[in-house]
């Protein structure tokens, strides 16, 4: 499925099968989970997608062909996961200081390089991962972005005992399981009046769940915002104890309204999370099966990608949408 222009539906068409270049794997795609970032790309909210583009950056597949001079950690037939971070230069100041997620020349799967809404894709082997055996191809796909970016956001909260989560979508649902596993007290904020999601959060183990316009019963040590809604930032800030941190976990957010300096005073911090490092992926893929982190999924065929995206946009999915390539 190909995106020719933002704000247009994806087109199904035959494209030549890619070849594994130097250092690359040709992967036969089994599944690819749909991420909110895909919607941001389609809606033209991210500045420079490669066009035409094959979307999709939560790819599970099997190695079909190995290019020259490729990292030997993979063999033909191995199952691999391909996430958002597709390539870095390894040379810039960010890469050399363990912050390849900020690389000046990074390339991103399903955004600046072709992704996994397809039967085949190629990927730089150094940015592919073995996946835990515990999960099948559908179950593991949502872990590759919602899980990884969620995990990076979560790690930024340090040892926060009381953790707030604003927006209880796919990433929040996965990371809440990790937080509970690690003994954190969880406070979940949803759209005001969304009692169903609040109930889901409590069933999962949240100490408290309420509307984003409410204050938690106790001040929070940290809050992660997964909703792309800027006004949540000052609201979350006001829910923090001294020294607390607000982590914005999304790639896109509407503007943040101004707020009083008193809300930031006493060493409160606001930060964002950009992309992921391979270390985040190694850590999370090792941790996830031990929790075990489980995603709710809803499957679609590749041809139904536009339907999956429309239902995601309308909030009508019951779990993360996962495209299954050989569904027919």
Q: Are strands 208-211 and 185-190 parallel, antiparallel or unpaired?
A: parallel
Among 31, 37, 109, 277, binds Zn ion (CB under 5 A): 37
Among 35, 220, 227, 281, binds Zn ion (CB under 5 A): 35
Phi-psi sector, 64: left (phi>0), alpha (psi -120 to 50), beta:
alpha
Q: How many angstroms separate the Cα of 44 from the Cα of each of 10, 48, 54, 286? A: 13, 9, 15, 35
Smallest separation (angstroms) from Zn ion to the CB of 156? 17
Q: Segment near Zn ion (CB under 5 A), from 32-40, 63-71, 75-83, 156-164? A: 32-40
Give least dist CB 33 to Zn ion, A: 8
Give the nearer residue to Zn ion in terms of CB position, either 35 or 175. Answer: 35
Contact predicate 21/43, CB 8 Å: no
Query: Measured between alpha carbons, how far is 184 from 76 in angstroms, rounded to an integer?
Result: 41
Binding mask 49-68 for Zn ion (x = CB under 5 A): --------------------
Stretch of 14-22, 28-36, 113-121, 302-310 lying at the interface with Zn ion (CB under 5 A):
28-36
CB of 115 to Zn ion, least distance (A): 10
258: number of Cβ within 10 Å: 6
Minimum Å gap between C-beta 78 and Zn ion is 23
Q: What is the contact mask toward Zn ion in residues 134 to 163, using x (rule: CB under 5 A)?
A: -----------x------------------
d(CA 2, CA 285): 29
In the complex, least distance from residue 171 CB atom to Zn ion, rounded to whole angstroms? 8
Q: Decide whether 59 or 236 has the Cβ nearer to Zn ion.
A: 59
Concatenate the DSSP letters of all residues of 33-68 into one string: E--HHHHHHHTT-SS---SSEE--S-EEEEEEEE-T
Residues 68-107 that bind Zn ion (CB under 5 A): 88-89, 92, 95, 103
The residue among 98 and 183 lying less far from Zn ion, judged by its C-beta, is 98
Binding-residue total with Zn ion (CB under 5 A): 8
CB of 82 to Zn ion, least distance (A): 12
Residue 103 Cβ vs Zn ion, minimum distance, rounded to whole Å: 3
Kindly tell me which of 92 and 256 has the beta carbon lying closer to Zn ion.
Answer: 92
Write out 227-243 in H/E/C secondary structure.
Answer: CCCCCHHHHHHHCEEEE
Alpha carbon separation from 2 to 52, 111, 225, 299 (Å, rounded): 6, 12, 31, 19
Residue 268 Cβ vs Zn ion, minimum distance, rounded to whole Å: 28
Q: Which of residues 76 and 93 has its CB atom nearest to Zn ion in the complex?
A: 93
Looking up tokens 């969880």 gives: 186
Which residue is listed with tokens 């200081």?
A: 97
Taking every pair of Cα atoms in the chain, the longest distance, rounded to a whole number of angstroms, is: 58
CA distance 36 to 309: 9
- Could you tell me which stretch among 37-45, 191-199, 268-276, 295-303 binds Zn ion (CB under 5 A)? 37-45
Nearest distance in Å: CB 321, Zn ion:
12
Nearer to Zn ion, 74 or 84 (CB): 84
Choose between 145 and 325: whose C-beta lies nearer to Zn ion.
145
Distances from the Cα of 121 to the Cαs of 29, 74, 82, 93, 139, in angstroms? 7, 16, 10, 30, 20
Q: Which two tokens stand for residue 46?
A: 């991210």
Q: Which is nearer to Zn ion, 35 or 236 (CB)?
A: 35
Residues at the interface with Zn ion (CB under 5 A): 35, 37, 88-89, 92, 95, 103, 145
């Amino acid at each position: 499925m190909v995106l020719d222009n933002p704000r247009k539906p994806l087109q199904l068409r035959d494209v030549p099968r890619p070849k594994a270049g130097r250092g690359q794997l040709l992967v036969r795609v089994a599944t690819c989970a749909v991420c909110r970032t895909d919607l941001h790309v389609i809606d033209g909210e991210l500045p420079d997608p490669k066009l035409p583009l094959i979307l999709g950056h939560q790819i599970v597949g099997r190695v079909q062909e190995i290019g020259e001079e490729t990292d030997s950690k993979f063999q033909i037939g191995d199952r691999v996961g391909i996430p958002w971070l597709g390539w870095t230069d390894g040379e810039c100041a960010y890469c050399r200081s363990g912050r390849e997620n900020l690389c000046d020349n990074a390339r991103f799967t399903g955004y600046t390089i072709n992704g996994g809404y397809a039967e085949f894709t190629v990927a730089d082997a150094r940015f592919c991962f073995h996946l835990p055996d515990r999960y099948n191809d559908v179950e593991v796909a949502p872990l590759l972005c919602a899980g990884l970016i969620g995990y990076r956001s979560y790690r930024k909260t340090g040892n926060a005992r009381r953790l707030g989560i604003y927006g209880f979508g796919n990433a929040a649902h996965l990371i809440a399981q990790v937080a509970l596993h690690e003994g954190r007290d969880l406070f979940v904020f949803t759209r005001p009046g969304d009692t169903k999601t609040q109930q889901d959060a409590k069933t999962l183990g949240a100490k408290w769940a309420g509307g984003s316009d409410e204050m938690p019963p106790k001040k929070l040590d940290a809050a992660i915002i997964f909703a792309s809604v800027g006004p949540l930032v000052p609201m979350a800030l006001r829910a923090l104890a001294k020294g607390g941190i607000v982590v914005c976990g999304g790639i896109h957010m509407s503007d943040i309204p101004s707020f009083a300096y008193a809300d930031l005073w006493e060493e409160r911090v606001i930060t964002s999370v950009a992309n992921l490092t391979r270390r985040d992926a190694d850590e999370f893929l090792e941790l996830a099966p031990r929790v075990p982190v489980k995603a709710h999924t809803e499957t679609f065929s590749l041809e139904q990608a536009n339907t999956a995206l429309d239902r995601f946009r309308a909030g009508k999915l019951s779990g993360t949408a996962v495209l299954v390539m050989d569904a027919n």
